[in-house]
Structure 1
Amino acid sequence: MALPPHAADWMNRAEIDYIGPFVKAWAAFNAWYRHASGSRKDRDGLRFVKTQPNPVRSGIMPLLRPMQRDGHGNIIPDGEPAQKLKLLIRDLHVCLDGFHIEVTRDEDVVERISFRSVCISNGAALPQSSDSYGLRYRVEKANGGWQCTVKSIANPANVRATIPTVGFDVDALQAHEQFAALSVAQRATLLEVFNRCNPRPFTDLFAGGGAGIVASDITFRCSDQQLFEGLIEVIYGLRNTLLHGELQPSPQAFAAYEPAYRILLTFLGCVR
């Protein structure tokens, strides 16, 4: 039997919206890491949280430890705080896996917020080079952009390819006629050096090796450090898509903000 209109209205109003609590918790977290890092730039503050000694890192990292076994090979169960945090991370992952929440970067690059594809490190700084079978493959900055060269090591005047790109653009590199003129092996080597310079390399936290970090019925295949950094980046992405007005309002999207809010509360509990 369908609910009468006034009952349905009250039921809708009774649903808890975690958007407001998330924003307030983020504001507190943001204020703390700005003060602790001594920088007003979010990127500097988040780097501080992820890589420098601080109460949040010290409190959260032990809760993300990989699966441990005793001397008899039996799994050592996590303590209650670790179980609660890992369950929240699992719930957040399920929400993000079931519904695409996206954020725009640099005005025209759309990225999905996901533990399956998260940027937790920077690419190698230019220039980068690699030597193979008498040839030197090099990627460097030149003329306001990037330049890829393939030349003989013994005779640098013997240049096999000189390919300019605006920046990191794999499609532009592969579409260049001089790239097509290289052999299959030479193209693969140049592409490896070029990809090494990706300013935003993405990591799938389920695709690595190691003992695994068990979170209820899912297992992350990454280190505790990678999961910690990925968790912060995912929550920061949720903050950005919300405050930039890009979040598509739907129950599935809103559902992700409950575990994200509770994870932020766990962070804040480390600094109280």
Structure 2
Amino acid sequence: MPNQFFGHINKWLLLSQSDTDFASLFVRAWIPFNAWYVNHYQITRDRECIDNLKSDNNHFRSRMIALLQTNDDAAQEFKYYLAKLQRRLDMYPIPDAVNPISLRSIYYRENPIMSTTPVVENRGRLYKAEKLAGGDITLQILNKNNNNNTVYSYSHNKYEPTHFLNSLAHSNLSNNQRGVAERCYLEINPKVKENLIADGNRNVLRIHTINLINNPNLVSQAVIELLYTLRNKLFHGEIQPTRQNLSVYEPAYFILRSLLKDIQ
């Protein structure tokens, strides 16, 4: 299959001759980072290493959490560049406006919701979706007005929206009932994107000019995923190498550099 990004090659070749652009500096910073995490985990697959980085108490993530929680010069610099990165991503969506990389909408962990709160609609029907151990998905609709008789039952060995919607289409449920069932199903999507930008000014993690949710643990996981996604878009040549697009790698480079200081 032809590479859909082949047209970017000439622009990248021109940029590769520069020693000062931040995309190149980001790559140079990623190389020792890559060497460190491969050696640290004794795993060669980048995705597996990144997932481990997000979940354990390694030096890289511990330093980030410390920078998020303190306010010394190093912490202030880190927060300045993190806020700058988010602002740049808002201004210049990468890879595009439909699927932008952003702390406003990012999949960085499996959805922790394993079971929806039972929903009872006005006709007395109870809806509940559940993600079981092993990945099985179930959704039940019971009639509360008729001894909890089953109105609809769905079960599948994985989360697969097309399979679920096909089941709904062949059911006797009304359009309204299908809508409620679909909302319950979507709530347990294992790969749901989350918004790390705080709503309001109370109980927030103040990062220079932006407010993030007050959970440094989750923010650190999201930032690691954000940096890795930017790395992939760059390494695979998936973005148009315009001045605006590549400007996001200036704050990304300084963020990565500040986190590499204490890794062992």
TM-score range with shorter-chain normalisation? 0.7 to 0.9
What secondary structure sits across from 1:102 in the alignment? coil
Provide the TM-score with structure 1 as the length reference: 0.71
Q: Does 1:120 align with 2:111?
A: no
1:216 Cα offset (Å): 2.3
Question: Larger relative contact order (C-alpha < 8 A, sep ≥ 6)?
Answer: 2
Whether 1:96 aligns to 2:89 is yes
Counterpart among 184, 189, 194 of residue 198 in structure 1: 189
Alignment of 1:32-47 (within 5 A): 32-47=36-51
1:67-146 counterparts in 2 under 5 A? 78-102=71-95, 111-124=99-112, 128=115, 131=118, 135=126, 137-139=128-130
> Which SS does the other structure have where 1:22 is aligned?
helix
CA shift at 1:196, angstroms? 3.5
Q: 1:221 to 1:39 in 2, by over 3 A?
A: same
CA contact (8 A) 1:162 1:178 kept: no
TM-score of the superposition, structure 2-length normalised?
Answer: 0.73
The sequence identity of aligned pairs, in percent, is 26
Alignment CA distance shift 1:139-1:61 (3 Å): closer
Q: How far apart are 1:138 and its partner, in Å?
A: 4.2
**Deviation by residue 1:42-101 (Cα, 9 ceiling, x = unmatched):** 2332232222122112222111028xxxxxxxxxxx210110000010111111000110
For 2:49 and 2:19, locate their aligned partners in 1 and report how far apart those are by CA, in whole Å.
34
Q: Per residue, is there more strand in 1 or in 2?
A: 1
Query: What residue is the counterpart of 1:54 in the other structure?
Result: 58
Query: Residues 124-181 of structure 1: CA distance to partner in whole angstroms, max 9, x if unpaired?
Result: 587x57655674634569xxx966442458878x442245788443896397363851
- After superposition, give the CA deviation of every residue in 1:7-35 in whole Å (9 maximum; x if it has no partner): xxxxxx98931122211211221221122
Larger Rg: 1
Contact 1:136 1:152 in 2 (8 A): no
| Partner-residue secondary structure (3-state), 1:213 | strand
Number of aligned residues:
237
Query: Which stretches in structure 2 are left out of the alignment for 5+ residues?
Result: 1-16
Residue pair 1:163, 1:173 contacting (<8 A) in 2 also: no
User: Aligned-pair distance for 1:252?
Assistant: 0.8
Q: 1:147 to 1:53 in 2, by over 3 A?
A: closer
DSSP 3-state at the match of 1:117: coil
Q: CA deviation at 1:117?
A: 0.6
Q: Distance in 1 between matches of 2:77 and 2:238?
A: 30
Residues 116 and 187 in structure 2, CA contact (< 8 A), matched pair in contact too: no
Letter in 2 for 1:263: I
Partner of residue 251, structure 1: 243
Unaligned runs of 5+ in 1: 1-12, 67-77, 104-109
C-alpha distance in 2, partners of 1:146/1:99? 38
Q: 1:42 to 1:250 in 2, by over 3 A?
A: same
Separation (CA, whole Å) in 1 of partners of 2:52 and 2:87? 28
Distance 2:195 2:162 in 1: 20
- State the AA in 1 paired with 2:73: E
Superposition RMSD in Å: 3.6
